[in-house]
Structure 1
Amino acid sequence: MATIAKITAKGQTTIPADIRAALRVGPGDSLVWELEADGSARVRRVQPLDLDYLKAVEGTLSEWASPADEEAYRDL
């Protein structure tokens, strides 16, 4: 499937309805753009993060939050 869309002076474009339907995206959804080695771009829907889950997990990671850990992993 190929659909053409123009880019505005602000760098914006409208995602055609058939592409939005195929990606299952709508207002407020997030997309990620990935550049491929051949110069093409790939776009896909980003799954929303479950913030409550992430906050719960964060509470279990305190053992990895010491000043020594910050020093050891600073340049990663």
Structure 2
Amino acid sequence: MSQIVKITTKGQTTIPQEIRLALHVEPGDFVFWEMVEEGIARVRRVQPLDLDYLNALQGTLGEWAGDADEAAYRDL
């Protein structure tokens, strides 16, 4: 399955319907672009990270949230 599509001046393109169906993507979904090798890219559907999971994870990172850490990493 392949199709040729045109890129707009803003760098946008339309994902052809048969490709959208194969990827199971709908408006609002996220896709991930990855360069596989020179001149070849791969695209796949991805799910946004679960906010509940991120909030739970953030609670475990408190040991690195001190003033000394802020000072040490301020210029990164």
Q: When the two structures are superposed, what TM-score results if normalisation uses the length of structure 2?
A: 0.79
Write out aligned runs for 1:1-76 (5 A): 1-70=1-70, 71=72
Displacement of 1:32: 1.4
Could you list the runs of 5+ residues in structure 2 that have no partner in the other structure? none
How many equivalent residue pairs? Answer: 75
Could you list the runs of 5+ residues in structure 1 that have no partner in the other structure? none
Q: When the two structures are superposed, what TM-score results if normalisation uses the length of structure 1?
A: 0.79
**Structure 1 residues 24, 66: CA separation in 2 closer, same or farther (over 3 Å shift)?**
same
Q: In angstroms, what is the RMSD of aligned CA positions?
A: 2.0
1:28 alignment partner AA: G
2:63 alignment partner AA: E
